[in-house]
């Protein structure tokens, strides 16, 4: 079974544009929130992976498909899961839904490569393999 998590957030006024809907780039921020929470649900803190092991998840690709608008004060559920992972890359998928009626707001994915502090590609340490479903 692939690791997954759900994160709830409320749309802040500052996240909306002149049309009163969530500005498109904020969905990428919400994906990051979901990713960090997924790491916690998998049993580790992403910050500790950076500090203690010097492993960073560099975004190599990001995609987002917008399906329906979210507005100020809406409650949004960000579902995040690991679609694929190996010792060199991890691919996260996301689904953002409106909490009230479960309407899909957006779907997306991000592909990450594991890198060192010096931005050199590295292999994921073995201790993280089970946490990433490897």
Q: Known catalytic residue: 53?
A: no
Tokens of 109: 């994915």
Tokens of 36: 């960090």
Q: Which residue among the candidates 17, 53, 74, 84 is catalytic per the annotation?
A: 17
User: Can you give the residue ranges of every domain in the chain?
Assistant: 4-132
For the chain, list residues with pLDDT below 50: none
pLDDT of the residue at 134? 87
pLDDT of the residue at 1? 58
What CATH number labels 4-132?
3.10.129.10
Model pTM? 0.93
DSSP 131: G
Q: Classify the C-alpha dihedral 78-79-84-88 as positive or negative.
A: positive
pLDDT of the residue at 3? 75
- Asked whether the beta carbons of 132 and 124 are under 8 A apart, the reply is yes
What is the rounded distance in angstroms from the CA atom of residue 92 to the CA atom of residue 4?
9
């Amino acid at each position: 079974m692939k690791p997954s998590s759900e994160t709830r957030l409320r749309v802040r006024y500052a996240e909306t544009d002149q049309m009163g809907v969530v500005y498109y780039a904020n969905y990428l921020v919400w994906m990051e929130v979901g990713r960090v929470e997924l790491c916690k649900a998998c049993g580790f803190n992403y910050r500790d992976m950076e500090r203690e092991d010097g492993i960073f998840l560099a975004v190599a690709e990001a995609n987002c498909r917008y399906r329906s608008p979210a507005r100020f004060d809406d409650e949004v559920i960000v579902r995040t899961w690991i679609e694929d992972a190996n010792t060199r890359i991890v691919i996260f998928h996301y689904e953002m839904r409106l909490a009230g009626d479960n309407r899909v707001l957006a779907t997306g994915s991000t592909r990450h490569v594991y890198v060192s502090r010096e931005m050199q590609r590295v292999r994921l340490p073995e201790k993280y393999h089970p946490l990433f479903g490897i």
